[in-house]
Amino acid sequence: MALTDTSEEIVPAPSPPEEPSPPAPSLGSGAAGNDHKAVGAGFLGLALAFLLAGGVLALVMRAHLVDPDGELLNARQYRQLFTFHGSILVFLFLLPAWTGLATAMVPLQIGAARLAFPRLQALALWLTVVGGGLMVAAPFVDGGRRVVSGWTLNYPIPAGGVFRGDGVEYLLLGVAIVLGAAVLSAANLVTTIAQLRAPGLTSRRIPLFTWSVLVSSAVMLLALPVLMAGLLMMFVDHHYGTRLFNGLTSSRGGNPLLWPRLFWFGAYPMLWALVLPALGVVCEIVAVFAGRPLVDRKRAMGAMGAIGVLAFAGFGSEVRNLADARPLFAIGALLVLAPVAGLFLNWLLTLRKAGKEEGTETVRQRLSGLPMLFVLGLLTVLAAGLGASVVSALGATTRFHTNYWAVGQQHLMYFAPATIAIVAAVHYWAPKLWGRHLSTGMGKLELLLLVGGAHLAFLPALVLGIQDMTIHTTDYSADQEFQLANWAMSAGSAVFALGAVLFALNLLVSVAMKRGRPADQDPWGGHTLEWFAPSPPPRHNFDVLPEVRSDTPVLDLRQGATP
């Protein structure tokens, strides 16, 4: 879109006409209509419910492992919990949570009145509900006892035998439907960002969260269908008795190495696609609380784009039986970390530059804003995740992909940063979306519990990795010296879970029960267009749009006519 080059001064914007604002879309009201904010809230509510569910499963597992020779669960039950813990938190928490935030915020950030296809997004929400229902039903139907693969969903049909019951089919179909919903919403978001930007908001001026959503959606459009095709073939194997993923009867069968390759080709980029929006959220919050744009915004955009591309280069590092190509994939898995580190540097330099420009004291005061505190906590987790990932990627020993090092690495690199970023983002944007602040006091407690819990739960997993406790271990004996780290992990996950519960309570009390402090239009001193809309925005988001002449239109307005 071409920028209209007018020579007139930027005039301070008049306040949008006062009108009684409509009731804010509440959590869970995604069914209410085609308002993207309501659909986004529906996604978020769904995701939050599954975060708590997946967390409960984790707690039961951790309670079992806290002592040697735990007797709470038998091996089959443990593996079942393990499977649903991973599947629920990836497919039913992280995926819909980011979809929800993007659905709610992207049109506001780009100055649009709507999504390109609002009904498609509502359809995606309902598909997620249906797929989630099938997944949750899987352990309870006939054959549910056999759903024990972990989240990699590897269920080859045994040679010469059959796989009895419907449990696996429920799980495979459920995940495929959830992924289909994610693909539809990704297509919708890409189209919205490509077509509906406000005049003057050129592609280089796209807000960084929206940019991260764009890259993440593009990755999903290319990666998730491969996983869906794999799930379709695995389903056909189970439903029609075919043998694509079992090569033992060579005249009839397929290839047992296929599934891990298909799965990780889709799942590895997907994990990065679930981290990318977290990086975008951090970019937004750092810039706003530093009171200036990022020092190198162009490189930040480039870094996120590079993560999207390189995410495909490292998928083989998770696949065993790819021995000849392993060095190449190791390089890919290592390279993808470089832009993350670059972003990290970008954020730190931004804070330093802000300190130099405005005095350390002013900036330090600003950094005590709650969303920024979340970001600072998140950075400590991300730093640990980056370190653990470098060691994994170097592939010094393949053990680190099959023992607890992998648990620590995946949780520190993907799960914990993404979760903390989601909490930070909701704290940051709740005043806009629902016109109410979440409680700051509770927020600080959440921050302590989530960040402290993440370190306490997942750093000991790295220790267990060095001690070589394998990933699917259901029991360990007292003489293996695993107990201390296991105890710490269990305590840490309880702390983390408490933080998540507090966050849910905070949302419930502050937003759903409307006890939160009412919010101004622009409570944080924002830079991007969403802060120009009323809080909460009317159904059509904007009555009037400011002229966009840079990547920070609202900051420009606040700074008056000075360029």
| Contact positions with other proteins (CB under 8 A) in 110-129 | 111, 113-114, 116-117, 120
> For residue 506, what is the DSSP state?
H
Please state, in angstroms and rounded to a whole number, the distance separating the CA atoms of residues 174 and 383: 34
* Residue ranges in 297-415 assigned as alpha helix (H): 297-310, 326-335, 337-358, 360-366, 370-394, 404-410
- Rule CB under 8 A: choose which of 200, 260, 460, 536 binds other proteins: 200
**325 contributes a contact to other proteins by CB under 8 A:** no
The set of residues, in sequence order, having a beta carbon less than 8 Å from that of 542 and lying 6+ positions away, is 16, 111, 113, 529, 532, 533
**452 contributes a contact to other proteins by CB under 8 A:** no
> Concatenated DSSP letters for 111-124?
T-SS-SSHHHHHHH
- Between 203 and 368, whose beta carbon lies closer to other proteins? 368
Cβ at position 558, least distance to other proteins in Å: 6
By CB under 8 A, the residues from 361 to 380 that bind other proteins are: 362, 365-366, 368-369
DSSP β-bridge partners for residue 403? 470
- Rule CB under 8 A: choose which of 72, 75, 159, 236 binds other proteins: 236
By CB under 8 A, the residues from 12 to 41 that bind other proteins are: 12-16
- Rule CB under 8 A: choose which of 66, 141, 232, 390 binds other proteins: 232
Cβ at position 27, least distance to other proteins in Å: 23
Please state, in angstroms and rounded to a whole number, the distance separating the CA atoms of residues 400 and 259: 21
Please state, in angstroms and rounded to a whole number, the distance separating the CA atoms of residues 311 and 295: 25
- Rule CB under 8 A: choose which of 83, 99, 103, 188 binds other proteins: 188
- Between 210 and 410, whose beta carbon lies closer to other proteins? 210
Amino acid letter at 329?
F
**522 contributes a contact to other proteins by CB under 8 A:** yes
Backbone angles phi, psi at 470, to 5 degrees: -75, 160
Give me 120's structure tokens. Answer: 């498609």
The set of residues, in sequence order, having a beta carbon less than 8 Å from that of 101 and lying 6+ positions away, is 40, 44, 277, 281, 422, 425, 426, 429
- Rule CB under 8 A: choose which of 75, 229, 345, 484 binds other proteins: 229
> Given the rule CB under 8 A, which of 68-76, 133-141, 165-173, 230-238 is the region that contacts other proteins?
230-238
Which residue shows structure tokens 């402290």? 452
Which residue shows structure tokens 């080059």? 5
Please state, in angstroms and rounded to a whole number, the distance separating the CA atoms of residues 552 and 99: 24
Please state, in angstroms and rounded to a whole number, the distance separating the CA atoms of residues 342 and 337: 9
Please state, in angstroms and rounded to a whole number, the distance separating the CA atoms of residues 385 and 279: 13
Q: Residues 74-113 vs other proteins: string with x where CB under 8 A? A: -------------------------------------x-x
**164 contributes a contact to other proteins by CB under 8 A:** no
Please state, in angstroms and rounded to a whole number, the distance separating the CA atoms of residues 473 and 475: 6
Q: What burial class does residue 467 get, using C-beta atoms within 10 Å of its C-beta: 0-12 exposed, 13-18 middle, 19+ buried? A: middle
Backbone angles phi, psi at 11, to 5 degrees: -95, 140
- Between 362 and 470, whose beta carbon lies closer to other proteins? 362
- Between 265 and 415, whose beta carbon lies closer to other proteins? 265
- Between 183 and 495, whose beta carbon lies closer to other proteins? 183
Cβ at position 13, least distance to other proteins in Å: 5
Size of the site for other proteins (CB under 8 A): 80
- Rule CB under 8 A: choose which of 433, 542, 551, 552 binds other proteins: 542
> Given the rule CB under 8 A, which of 90-98, 206-214, 243-251, 485-493 is the region that contacts other proteins?
243-251
**195 contributes a contact to other proteins by CB under 8 A:** yes
Please state, in angstroms and rounded to a whole number, the distance separating the CA atoms of residues 388 and 71: 31
**244 contributes a contact to other proteins by CB under 8 A:** yes
Cβ at position 145, least distance to other proteins in Å: 25
Cβ count within 10 A of residue 22: 11
Cβ at position 304, least distance to other proteins in Å: 19
- Between 53 and 244, whose beta carbon lies closer to other proteins? 244
**322 contributes a contact to other proteins by CB under 8 A:** no
**2 contributes a contact to other proteins by CB under 8 A:** no
- Rule CB under 8 A: choose which of 32, 56, 60, 187 binds other proteins: 187
Which residue shows structure tokens 């908001």? 201
By CB under 8 A, the residues from 246 to 305 that bind other proteins are: 247, 250-255, 258, 262, 265, 291
**241 contributes a contact to other proteins by CB under 8 A:** yes
Q: What burial class does residue 19 get, using C-beta atoms within 10 Å of its C-beta: 0-12 exposed, 13-18 middle, 19+ buried? A: exposed
**317 contributes a contact to other proteins by CB under 8 A:** no
Please state, in angstroms and rounded to a whole number, the distance separating the CA atoms of residues 35 and 25: 9
Cβ at position 1, least distance to other proteins in Å: 10
- Between 93 and 542, whose beta carbon lies closer to other proteins? 542
- Between 70 and 253, whose beta carbon lies closer to other proteins? 253
* Residue ranges in 88-156 assigned as alpha helix (H): 95-109, 118-137
Cβ at position 437, least distance to other proteins in Å: 11
**222 contributes a contact to other proteins by CB under 8 A:** yes
Q: CB of 151 within 8 A of CB of 83?
A: yes
